[in-house]
Amino acid sequence: MGEGLIEAEIVTWKVGVGDVVVLNQALVDVETAKAVVELPSPFAGTVVTLHGDVGDTMEVNQPLVTFEVGGELAPQSFEEQVRHDVTVEQRREPVLIGYGVADEDGPSARRTRRTSMRDSAPAPAVSTTAPASGPVRTTPPVRLLAKQYGVDLEGVAATGRDGLVTRDDVERARSGTASSGRRQSTPTGAMSSSRFVGREIEPWSSGAREERIAVKGVLKAMAEAMVDSSTHQPQAAVWLRVDATKMVELLSGLKHNPRMADVRLSPLTIVALAVCDAARHYPGINSSFDAEHNEVIVRRYVNLGIAADTPRGLIVPNVKEADQLDLVGMASALSTLVESARSGTTTPSDMLGGTITVTNVGPFGVDAAVAILPPGTGAIVCVGQVAKAPWVVDDEIVVRHVVELSMTFDHRQIDGALASRVIAHIGAFVEDPATALLAQ
C-alpha cells in the first residue's frame, strides 16, 4: 500500500460476498496514515470472502478479499487460476492505493450477482449491504462523516451532481435529527456539538456521562507520532514577535490586482516562502537525526509539511519541492493541499517525506503556541494570528500589525544559535516580504 504503511482500517465495503467484480472496480475504502483511500480490485472475478469488517484494522500482507477468477472451476490455487484464466487485459501490477491503474476505462462501480452453488449456502456475514437499487453515491470522507454522525445515508436527500450525497447534505440531515429533542431551558452552548479527535461528539446536555472513543485512524496515527516525537526527540523552542505591517499591505495590494484574482494569498503563503528561504540559507535546519545509523541527514530540498485541521482530525501533508515555488506557485500549492485535506482526498504519498513543517494557529485567534515536532523532521514553525498592537517605531508608539513566530527544533543536531539565526531570518522575510522576494 505504499512505503512506510503497515496497516489500514476498513471504512466502507463497496462489495459483498458473491458479487461479480471487474478489474479496477472499487472494493473498499480504507484509512491509512491519516488518509482515506479507495482500494481497486486487482482482478476480475467473484468475491468469495471478505476478511474483515468495518472498523477492523488490517495489517499489510494480511488477506483482505478472496476472489474466484475465471468462472466455475475445480478448486485450484489462486496463482494457478490467475495464470490460466485471467487475460492480459484483466491483469495489472499492484500500485499504491488511490493512484489508479493501467485500465482506467473500466466502470468504477458495478455490482451483479451470479447464480452458483455458493448461493444456496448461507453467505459469510459482511459489514454492509447495498440496497437493491444500488449503493448510495457519495465520497469516502462523506461516508465516514455520516458514520460518525450516525446518519443513515439511505435517508439523506442528495443535492450533488448526478445524485451525489454531499457533506452539506449529511450536515443538514444530522441537524434535522439533532434538533428534535432539544430542551429549551438548556443554555445554547451546552446544546452545541463539537469536534474532538476527528469526530463530532454529543453536546454536554445530551451526551453520555462518560464516553469511550476507540483509538484508531487519525487519532491513533497522531497519538503514536506525538509519543514517538516527545520520547525520542529532545526539543527546544525559540520565539520572535514581528512587525508584519508590510506583509499585510503587500497581501492587500496583491488581492486587488486583477491578475491575482484567482490566487488565494494569505500570511501562511509568505511564511511558507520564508521557511523555504531560511532552509536555503541555513540547510542544517532542514535536517533529521537518524538514530539507527548514528547520522544526521541534511536535505537540500524542502517538502514543506502543513498542519491541517480536518473533519477527521489533524493531518500533516506536505508540498513536494516547495523550495522551487514562487509566490503564485506556493499559494496554489497550499490551496490544493488544504482543500484535499479538508475533503478527505489526501493520499498516503502526500503524508510521507516531509522535511520541515509549518503550523498556523492564527485562524483560531491564538497569538502563539509551541508545537511538537512531527517524527523524522528537525523543525516546525508555528504562526500566530496577525493582529494590531502597539509597536515602537522611531521611539514613538504606533499601531502596527504584529505576528508572533515560534520554532520548535530537535536539539540533538540543531543548537540554539542556528535556531535563533533561522527564526530571525524568517522574521526579516515576514517584516519586508517584497524586498525578500525580489532578492531570491
So which residues are the catalytic ones?
Answer: 411
Structure-block grid coordinates of residue 343: 475533503
| Of residues 63, 50, 59, the one with CA closest to residue 13 | 50
Residue with cell 472475478: 45
Going by the DSSP 8-state scheme, the letter that residue 96 receives in this structure is -
Residue with cell 531570518: 425
Structure-block grid coordinates of residue 398: 504606533
**What DSSP line would sit under 259-316, residue for residue?**
GGTT----HHHHHHHHHHHHHHH-GGGSEEEETTTTEEEE-SS--EEE-EEETTEEE-
Angle at 306 between CA 219 and CA 291, to 5 degrees: 75
CA 137 vs CA 100, 131, 176, 323: distances in Å = 19, 12, 21, 39
Return the H-helix or E-strand segment holding 76.
none
Q: Helix 327-343 vs helix 267-281: angle between axes, to the nearest 10 degrees? A: 120
Rounded to whole angstroms, how far apart are CA atoms 227 and 233?
10
Rounded to whole angstroms, how far apart are CA atoms 69 and 250?
62
Buried b (16+ CB within 10 A) or exposed e, 311-345: bbbbbbbbbbebbebebeebbbbbbebbebbbebb
Going by the DSSP 8-state scheme, the letter that residue 175 receives in this structure is H
Return the H-helix or E-strand segment holding 234.
none
